[in-house]
Amino acid sequence: MMRLGFHASHEQISPRQLLLDVQHAERAGFDMAMCSDHLSPWTTSQGHSGYTWSWLGAALATTDLDLGCVSAPGQRYHPAVHAQKIATLGQMFPGRFWVALGSGEDMNEHVTGDRWPVKEVRTRRLEECVDVIRRLLEGEEVTHDGLVTVDRARIWERADPVPLLVGPAASVESAARVARWADGLVTLNQPHDTLRELLAAYRDAGGTGRAALQVHLSWAPTEEEAEAVAHDQWRAGVFGEPVNWDTPVPGAFDLMAEHVSAEAVREVVRVSADLGQHRAWIEEYAALGFDDIYLHHVGQVQERFIDAFGETVLPALRG
């Protein structure tokens, strides 16, 4: 059965407000939530970036929602530290927390001063980190010498069940590769043909678990306002790989996005004042085979979106 979730965007909203928003989303009928894990926002107009792991503890403690985040081990986070965070939340809130482990973006990782590796090296580093994290979560003492170094690490607080380690993938190639280790798949809204190929690649490569889709959308009472919100907040979202991987600071995204049109933003954000249209778009994504769909209203004010979708869109989809 398809589940509908709320995406909490730390790049756009303060952690204090975002905690109120996720609590509001639960009351409005959302089934679950997920969030980003950034050190930096994409653009200066977004202007926020709270520490995800502090926020997750508060959100799990003050809601009954399942929660997850997309996070990158290997540079900013050592895999043993990552495993300890995952295990602690998993122990405190059994069965309610998952994490999608990705290879990261330069904008969040360059602060260590270490060289930002090329994509293939980042992917191999991620795969080493996943192996280390999984072994630690299963109770092993781990020593590892490779693209990451681990010396006799052990996690003393264990989670039962072990939190799911989900594979994030934006391309068909990545989907097939994460299938080697992932307990599930999460991706972003793209053209339907691409999403079909991506899902098929994951399943054909042996990928198991639930398939989740994060949908960027903008809704407001008028079409003009919905478009303006999307253009103001998510015009840097038009830049795909490798630009989004390798650009180090928000100011650079600001400069690149200066001439991005509102029409171009509509290629990556579902923009409409019509709640029925949003419902139809979500139904189309569900028909592709996604089990979980997380809705990301790209505005910085979430209240109207949560209320409108909770009153109209979610009940209609479930009906």
Which of 32, 81, 27, 80 shows the shortest CA–CA distance to 56? 32
Active-site residue identified among 10, 24, 38, 296: 38
Give the span between the Cα atoms of 33 and 49, in whole angstroms. 17
Catalytic annotation on 192?
no
Which of 315, 317, 308 shows the shortest CA–CA distance to 279? 317
Asked whether the beta carbons of 162 and 133 are under 8 A apart, the reply is no
Question: Which stretches of 71-186 are DSSP H helices?
Answer: 79-92, 106-109, 119-137, 172-178
Which of 311, 233, 276, 306 shows the shortest CA–CA distance to 6? 306
Place of tokens 């910085």: 300
Report angle CA 45, 48, 51 to the nearest 5 degrees. Answer: 160
Place of tokens 């503890």: 57
Give the span between the Cα atoms of 79 and 164, in whole angstroms. 16
Active-site residue identified among 7, 26, 82, 105: 105
Asked whether the beta carbons of 286 and 237 are under 8 A apart, the reply is no
Catalytic annotation on 105?
yes
Which of 3, 54, 47, 61 shows the shortest CA–CA distance to 214? 3
Sign of CA pseudo-dihedral 169, 174, 178, 179? positive
Rg for the chain, CA atoms, rounded: 19
Asked whether the beta carbons of 217 and 270 are under 8 A apart, the reply is yes
End-to-end alpha carbon distance in the chain: 12
Catalytic residues: 38, 105
